[in-house]
Amino acid sequence: MIGLILNMIYAGIRVATTSIDHVVVFLHFLSVFFVNFGLIFIVIVNMIILESSIIFSVKRQNRFIILYGIFLFFGMLILIYPFEFVTVHASGYTQWDPIFFIYLVLIITGLAMIPIFYTSFKIYSSFTTKELKKKWFYYLIGSLGLAIFNLYPVDILNLLTHSFPENEGFLNISRSLISVLGISVIFWVSLMYYGIGSKLKP
């Protein structure tokens, strides 16, 4: 939620003026951090379901959260400021150098997305009742859809803006397509809620 709010703020600044690119980059950095940082809490919840809060203690939970946060926050910070691997395109949109893109995708995939899907499949396999399996399957599909159609496409768009800076037509089509895909977040979140947020029928 924090990341989405920041995204709306710097989007407004981007439209208003192009003379404060450093502010746009900083708010973009915070937006990307908070949006992706939330993924680790899904891992934590899955681990608690698998191992219980006694085995997967608060100390271990905090260790996971802190390590992920350090890799995500300081890794991006170093790549953005000393090396300027995130800049603002002439059109006002942020653009990512391939090195920044690869680093971020490796971090969120290796430390968040793979653990989320691995633990989710293990939880699904551990259920014995048909109704529980069905609901958890909806949650799993919602998580997968959210990652494939909402998280990664935005990252790819930032890379494309850097790779094809002069091809405005292609970039505009890509932005429109990703905007349409963004609407699907309602569907994927609804599946996740139905999977773990709603109650089982008596």
pLDDT at 12: 54
pLDDT at 3: 45
Q: Which two tokens stand for residue 100?
A: 């920044």
pLDDT at 70: 97
Q: Which residue has the tokens 């633990």?
A: 119
Q: Which residues of the chain have pLDDT under 70?
A: 1-19, 53-54, 198-202
Query: CB pairs under 8 A, 24+ apart, for 67-70?
Result: 67/111, 68/37, 68/40, 68/111, 68/112, 69/37, 69/40
How far apart are alpha carbons 200 and 132 in whole angstroms?
A: 8
What tens digit of pLDDT does each residue of 127-147 get?
888 888 888 999 889 888 888
